[in-house]
Chain A
């Protein structure tokens, strides 16, 4: 057991060195999200009146498919970083916090894979 206080232990160690990267990734994806989310809204509106074949053709066309994937990836990276901050702010219990952070990453990756699979199938599938 150490006689040192928690503050004494970390003094002089500096930061964890990843805060700036987090900040930048948050801002870069936020900036990218602005045009990409407008694009996504237009794509969704365009499919409302379409029948299945038309919707599939639209979502699988090169420009739309790539744009949707860009929106999905940028959105997911951004929301994962954002949710990380929310978790760190509100969950003081260390074990629960780490569990929630893992869950956040797993959820993001899973949603991403599902979306990529969907757009790939719409683009190349039968």
Chain B
């Protein structure tokens, strides 16, 4: 390995705590956190599918866990993370097309992401309860 000093003397970009917290920054962080959360949510999906494939007993167990208060709480969070990340992803598409970079637009996109995700989550759960 080289023992040169380029690594230490190179100027470093300032890290998070230097910046003032802004809406767009919080949304960016939440996009990453929800993405990581969905990763682990996928484990729940896999368990659910596998339990259904194994048989009635395993499926009933999975159903009981998901149906418990804690299970529902986790699934509610899962639903919100999915919709928040989904709308946040669509926001990325808008940026990829070179639009929505203005100050007002960025703020509007942040509001749509948060409001839209909450609305879709609540709507999904209303439908889920109404349909069963």
Residues on A facing B (Cβ under 8 Å): 1-7, 9, 27, 30-31, 33-34, 37, 40-41, 44-46, 48-49, 52, 55-56, 59, 68, 72, 75-76, 79, 82-83, 86, 111, 114-115, 117-119, 121-122, 125
Residues in B neighbouring A27, C-beta threshold 8 A: 92-93, 96
Residues of B within 8 A of A76 (CB): 42
Are A45 and B39 CB-contacts (below 8 A) given A6-B2, A7-B6? no
- Main secondary structure, interface of A, reads helix
CB pair A52–B86 under 8 Å, yes or no, is no
CB distance from B121 to the nearest CB of A (A): 10
Q: With A6-B6, A48-B128, A82-B35 as given contacts, are A75 and B93 in contact (CB-CB < 8 Å)?
A: no
Interchain Cβ contacts under 8 Å between A and B, 10 examples: A3-B2, A5-B4, A27-B96, A30-B92, A41-B82, A45-B131, A79-B38, A83-B39, A86-B36, A119-B49
Min CB distance B44 to A, Å, is: 10
Q: When the two chains form their complex, are residues B35 and A33 in contact, meaning their CB atoms are under 8 A apart?
A: no
Q: Is the pair B42, A5 in contact by a Cβ cutoff of 8 Å?
A: no
The answer to whether B2 and A4 have CB atoms under 8 Å apart is yes
Interface bits B31-54 vs A (CB < 8 Å: 1, else 0): 010011011001101101110110
How many cross-chain pairs have Cβ atoms below 8 Å apart between A and B?
A: 94
Q: Which 8 A-B pairs have the closest CB atoms?
A: A118-B53, A49-B132, A118-B49, A121-B53, A52-B56, A5-B4, A118-B50, A48-B132
B positions within 8 Å CB-CB of A? 2, 4, 6-7, 32, 35-36, 38-39, 42-43, 45-46, 48-50, 52-53, 55-56, 59-60, 79, 82, 86, 89-90, 92-93, 96, 124, 127-128, 131-132
Are A45 and B93 within 8 A (Cβ)?
no
User: In whole Å, how far is A89's beta carbon from the nearest beta carbon of chain B?
Assistant: 9
What residue in chain B is nearest A53 (Cβ atoms)?
A: B56
A49 to B131, CA, bound (A): 8
Q: How many whole Å from B67's CB to the nearest CB in chain A?
A: 8
Complex partner residue of B39 from A2, A79, A115, CB under 8 angstroms: A79
Rounded to whole angstroms, the CA-CA distance of A114 and B32 in the bound complex is 26
